[in-house]
Structure 1
Amino acid sequence: MAGTVSKIIHFHDEEEFLDEMGDVMERFSYLASKYGHNPIVGLILWDYIGVRDAEGVKVFRVGEFPYFEGTLKVDLETLRIMERYFDEMESRWDELTVEEINYFVEMLNEALGEERVYYDAYSLGLDRNTAYIILDLASLHYLDSVLEGRDREIFEEAVELLMKYV
Structure 2
Amino acid sequence: MYNSGYMAPEYAIHGQFSVKSDVFSFGVLLLEIVSGMKNRGPVLPSQSVNLIGHAWRLWKQGIPLNFADECLEKSCVKLEVLRCIHIGLLCLQCHADDRPNMSSVVIMLSSEGVLPEPKEPGFLLEHVPVREASPNNHTALSNNEVSLTLLEAR
TM, length-normalised to structure 2: 0.31
The answer to which structure has the higher helix fraction is: 1
Name which one, 1 or 2, has greater alpha-carbon Rg: 2
Question: Larger RCO: Structure 1 or Structure 2 (Cα < 8 Å, ≥ 6 residues apart)?
Answer: 1
TM-score (norm 1): 0.29
Q: Which has the higher strand share?
A: 1
